[in-house]
Amino acid sequence: MPKLNSMFKKTTYITLSNRRQSVRQDSLVSEGELDQPNIPEGLWTKCEKCGAILYKEELEKNLYVCGSCGNHQRVSAQKRIEMIADEGSFVEMDSVLPDRNPLDFPEYDKKIKAMREATGLNEGVIYGKCTINGEETILAVMDSKFMMGSMGTAVGEKVTRAIEKATEVGLPVIIFTCSGGARMQEGILSLMQMAKTSAAVEVHGRAGLPYFTVITDPTTGGVTASFAMLGDVILTEPGTLIGFAGQRVIEQTIGQKLPEGFQRADFMLEHGFIDQIVERKDLKERLYQLIRAHKPLKQEVEE
């Protein structure tokens, strides 16, 4: 008669640690800490909105959208490009611009250097040429990890060059915005980028070329007040924070309590500030449809 143990398959689960046997009597580890599940580091993360524990590999497959509450987590510029551009099609332009500290702001140069080392980015925006389902476009993506995506002279120059390049080669331009506003270390010169980028958008439009913006969380300040809200079609993701000044600042200024969900995507759509809220998984296809729909008739006939 076979042994009972051989009749059952052994399954390994996450178990409670046996650290009690190895912890010295004088240890500062509490009784509660000893009973915590022994989970390998780096495999799990926590949703900032609902608190759900998420398996990182599954979260990545889901494009960094929480499977429990649908919260769209912030992603890097590089991840955005991987999600939107056809594989291997993105060619970055003007990756490095000359360093500038126009006001000789104390420690600014050191902060820029530290940001580059920490993020692997040269500045708060990346742009280049790519295809989306085979359709050529100029794509620019901002990254909040680099000084909160703040717009200084370098960011303003890159955004302007992206739009001007699209105008020059006769392509649509798509910009994913994400910013905390103007970069205070550059003073009035950072504010001048609002006019500079907006002027480039105007020239692009006069050439009969489409400009699409995708506003991602968070987009505020001078970026909101300039090129972010000038798209021919303005898209955003669910739950995105969109505004100029912060909610508390506005409430303190006007002495009134603001409506629930003020400056969030649903509120902005309801009040006509954006055109559509699009799930992250649908963004690439939606942008492709927009490019096709706004192609010049002459170009369509030639194809």
- The tens digit of pLDDT for each residue in 210-250 reads 999 999 999 999 999 999 999 999 999 999 999 999 889 99
State whether 39 and 140 are in the same domain.
no
Mean pLDDT computed over 23-38: 48
H/E run at residue 251: helix 247-254
Q: Could you give the CA distance from residue 61 to residue 80 in angstroms, rounded to a whole number?
A: 13
Domain-terminating residue out of 47, 72, 97 = 72
Confidence of residue 42 (pLDDT cuts 50, 70, 90): confident
In this structure, is residue 201 part of a structural domain? Answer: yes
State whether 159 and 43 are in the same domain.
no
- Residue 79's SS3 state is helix
In this structure, is residue 9 part of a structural domain? Answer: no
Domain-terminating residue out of 72, 100, 127 = 72
State whether 105 and 240 are in the same domain.
yes
What is the model's pLDDT at position 59? 94
Q: Which sign does the torsion angle of CA 121, 124, 127, 131 carry?
A: positive
Counted domains in the chain: 2
The rounded percent of the chain whose pLDDT value lies above 90 is: 78
State whether 81 and 63 are in the same domain.
no
Q: Write the CB contacts of 212 (distance below 8 Å, at least 6 apart in sequence).
A: 172, 173, 174, 175, 231, 232, 233, 234, 235, 287, 290
Mean pLDDT computed over 180-208: 96
State whether 235 and 261 are in the same domain.
yes
**What domain range is 158 assigned to?**
74-302
What is the model's pLDDT at position 303? 56
Tell me phi and psi for residue 15, to 5 degrees. Answer: -120, 165
Calculate helix-pair angle for 77-84, 283-293, nearest 10 degrees.
Answer: 60
- CATH number of the domain bearing residue 165: 3.90.226.10
State whether 42 and 61 are in the same domain.
yes
Predicted confidence (pLDDT) at residue 28 exceeds the cutoff of 50:
no
State whether 183 and 52 are in the same domain.
no
Q: Which sign does the torsion angle of CA 259, 265, 159, 61 carry?
A: positive
In this structure, is residue 164 part of a structural domain? Answer: yes
In this structure, is residue 147 part of a structural domain? Answer: yes
State whether 92 and 209 are in the same domain.
yes
In this structure, is residue 211 part of a structural domain? Answer: yes
Q: Could you give the CA distance from residue 37 to residue 39 in angstroms, rounded to a whole number?
A: 6
Mean pLDDT computed over 186-202: 97
What is the model's pLDDT at position 26? 46
Q: If you average pLDDT over every residue of the chain, what do you get?
A: 88
Predicted confidence (pLDDT) at residue 38 exceeds the cutoff of 70:
no
Mean pLDDT computed over 158-182: 97
Tokens of 245: 């000044």
State whether 164 and 176 are in the same domain.
yes
State whether 57 and 113 are in the same domain.
no
Mean pLDDT computed over 156-185: 97
In this structure, is residue 180 part of a structural domain? Answer: yes
Predicted confidence (pLDDT) at residue 290 exceeds the cutoff of 50:
yes
